[in-house]
Amino acid sequence: MGTSAPDDEPNEEAAKFYNLLNEMNKELYEGSKYSKLSFCIRLFHLKCLGGWTGNSFTMLLEFLREMFPFAKIPQSCQDMKRLIKDLGLGYDKIHSCPNDCMLYLGDQKNQQCCNVCGKSRWMNGNTEDVNADEGGAQLRKKPVKVLQYFSLIPRLQRLFMSSKTSESMKWHNDQRTDDGLLKHPADSLAWKSFDSKFPSFASDPRNVRLGLAADGFNTFKIMSTSYSTWPIVLVRYNLPPWICMKQSSFILPMIISGEKGPGNDIDIYLKPLIEELKQLWSGVETYDVLRKKNFNLCAALLWTINDFSAYANLSGWSTKGHYACPCCAA
């Protein structure tokens, strides 16, 4: 009998995640029904709901440690944030031009004003406030507009670090019934056409097929209030149909908020997501816990989901006046 190939050791990122998860899954104290992880997430959730400052949250943690010295309670708000971010639940704050001209990224990260319209990136040019996250000791300027960006690559990689989600990501290939009926996006002509054009991508069922949904709404539900929120949502079509459209299965890579919607400038905000999608087209090293092997994970964006006005913003196609219809150009 032939011997099977030896299992791969988890790559560096996967090993770091597993070690942290093992540490965080320990009991908060002996006999507790809460783990250190569940305690941190629950308490941090309350901080966000209550609008507590970083300083007040640190003081609460100090009080809890004094009251329960036997419990594994983080030292400060910064320690709590670091733990949550290491688990992949953090996000990046990317400053943007108030007129939606550019993002302050890469070589332009340290610019003080927009290189298109000349507007300052800071509120009132010289407005400063206390950065409570740094213990109140450091002052910083307040940006006019901020994009909250949740990195996509580590979120896709973590899907294969769990045996349950890793198996679900291959459902479209391993468990779908191919009876000629349209029951799943994998039965569509578009999916099959994509497979025929890119056979190397289709050869591994673990590669991720994504759909992008985008639309804006008024957060405060008051039409007289000038404010807009645009969540960008990704749908994983590898999953079975009764799971992939559940809210818990969605991936939220970014939230675009401000006094007005991004309109046709939404492509400015999509830049970090597009850069990650380009990287995912080439592939990133990922550990598959089911096979206990490292593999090259790829992803592709197949479809977008939006209303007609958002379709115009995303595609650049005019949906008003002449040639408004994208199908017949009438």
How confident is the model over 87-145, as pLDDT tens digits? 777 788 899 998 889 999 888 888 889 988 888 888 875 544 444 444 444 456 888 88
Model confidence pLDDT, tens digit, residues 43-77: 988 998 898 998 999 999 999 999 999 998 888 98
pTM score, whole prediction: 0.82
Domain ranges of the chain: 12-89, 92-147, 150-315
Place of tokens 């953090």: 90
Residue 260: the pLDDT is 81
Is residue 313 exposed (0-12), middle (13-18) or buried (19+ Cβ within 10 Å)? buried
Confidence of residue 5 (pLDDT cuts 50, 70, 90): low
Confidence of residue 303 (pLDDT cuts 50, 70, 90): very high
Give me the amino acid identity at 258.
G
Between strands 208-214 and 299-305, the pairing is parallel
Model confidence pLDDT, tens digit, residues 217-252: 776 666 556 778 888 999 999 999 899 889 889 999
CA 232 – CA 212 distance, rounded (Å): 7
> H or E segment at 189?
helix 189-197
CB-hemisphere CA count at 13 Å for 53? 9
